[in-house]
Chain A
Amino acid sequence: MPLPTQLSKVWGYKPVYGTETEAKNISYSSGARPVISGGNIYAYQNYIFQMEPGTGIHVIDNSTPSAAVRIGFITVNGCSQISIKDGKIYTNSYDDLVVLNFSNLNNIEETSRLKGVFTEYRYASPIAQPPATGYYECPAFNKFVTGWTRDSVEQYCYKN
């Protein structure tokens, strides 16, 4: 019996790549978006924020707690963390620090971006992992993952 020359393929996740510009584009959409894999929470004024690691930030209006409601979602690919001061959201997009002005929710502006500051987040950003357990195609280190799609993949990378 000859040894197999390569691992057999299995059904798993394959990364979807974007250009750096696409991957790092910040945008806001109003309305609730389902929480897929809820992350850290943060309270600021009458808002509650919850990270959707890898893809963005859920915004909850908590002006009246008994009627608290999800009102929108800020797309920030590669994000995982949040902190807020003086109306500015500090978050990460891959290894960049991104500062967002959210004084007007419908016009979320990128105030500034400090590229590559969080050296270790580059390959540790949540989007470097698919949304569910199992085998996945290892992402290329020099590309920006913007999502995942189901496909036939080799058994090199595995998410617990």
Chain B
Amino acid sequence: MKKLYFFIYAVVFIALVSCEKSSDSSASLTNATGVGGSLAKFTISGNYLYAVSSHYLYTVNISNPSNPVRTNQTQLNFDMETIYPYKNSLFVGSRTGLYVYSLEDPAVPKLIGEAKHGRSCDPVIANDSVSYSTLKGSTFCGPATSGLYVYEVKNLNLPQLKTTIPINEPIGLGMSDSALYVCCASEGLRVFSIKNAYAPVERKLITGNNYIDVIAYNNILICWSSEGIVLFDITNRLLPVFIKKIAS
């Protein structure tokens, strides 16, 4: 059934980290850990690598890279799609909702919160108070309404859906400071102001490529499109300026 493998990428749940992840994004080049996109199934937090497959969350201690050791493998009944680290938590996007794991014991993540939505595809990013995820309610992903879903996550045990913004075919997303970037496949890349975190306002639509995922990295927005890697200068977060397309 892994025919669905690539379509499952479409289910990215992004919990946006305005501090951690954007400190990743705005961090210096000597930053010890890199930054992945919102569709990632691997992530490193501290001395641990966390990985998801459809039904498992794997934890590997990498404090000694020459001798990595698996410390945990948890089986779950929901189809996990993406993983996003924020501080002492992991946000896991799945086809059925957003799940929050505590890393109080980093060797053995513990499920502490969840927000279920209609069956759908979804990635996530998050920060201290808000998490954004995109749901793609099309063919493979079930009946939920496609769009940007905004959750309040002040209480990690009980994420609250604050608002939804209908968007066709949203996929990966990323954020930096007061800007949220949402990839919308052939429709383009949408730039939202999130000065009011719970009420994103669309400021710009950049067309011309089939956008899949983004990484906000320092002042550069790195975009994965079907046509190649597209780079924008985001010194002004809400007004990306095209730099270069590295064609596939």
Contacts and interface: CB of A to CB of B under 8 A. Distances in A.
B165 to A, nearest CB: 25
Contact of A120 (B34, B55, B67, B233): B55
Contacts of A159: 3
Given A48-B229, A124-B53, A159-B3, A112 B246 contact: no
Nearest to A81: B42
B158 interface: no
Nearest to A45: B29
A50 B54 CA distance: 22
Interface in B101-152: none
A40 B5 contact: no
B53 A118 contact: yes
Interface stretch (B90-98, B191-199, B200-208, B218-226): B218-226
Interface residues of A, number: 51
Contact of A65 (B5, B58, B220): B220
Given A120-B53, A129-B5, A86 B36 contact: no
A114 B68 contact: yes
A46 B30 CA distance: 10
Interface string B28-47: 01111111110111111000
Interface residues of B, number: 52
B176 to A, nearest CB: 12
A113 to B, nearest CB: 9
A112 B65 contact: yes
A33 B5 CA distance: 24
Contacts of A91: 42
Given A41-B224, A68-B244, A84-B33, A129 B3 contact: yes
Contacts of A34: 248
A80 interface: yes
A17 interface: no
B41 A80 contact: yes
Contacts of B222: 41, 43, 48, 62
Contacts of B58: 117-118
18 contacts: A40-B37, A40-B41, A41-B36, A43-B222, A50-B224, A62-B231, A68-B246, A81-B42, A82-B36, A84-B33, A90-B62, A99-B68, A114-B60, A114-B69, A117-B60, A128-B2, A129-B2, A129-B5
Interface of A: 34-35, 37-38, 40-46, 48, 50, 53, 60, 62, 65-70, 80-86, 88, 90-92, 97, 99, 111-112, 114, 117-121, 123-124, 126, 128-129, 158-160
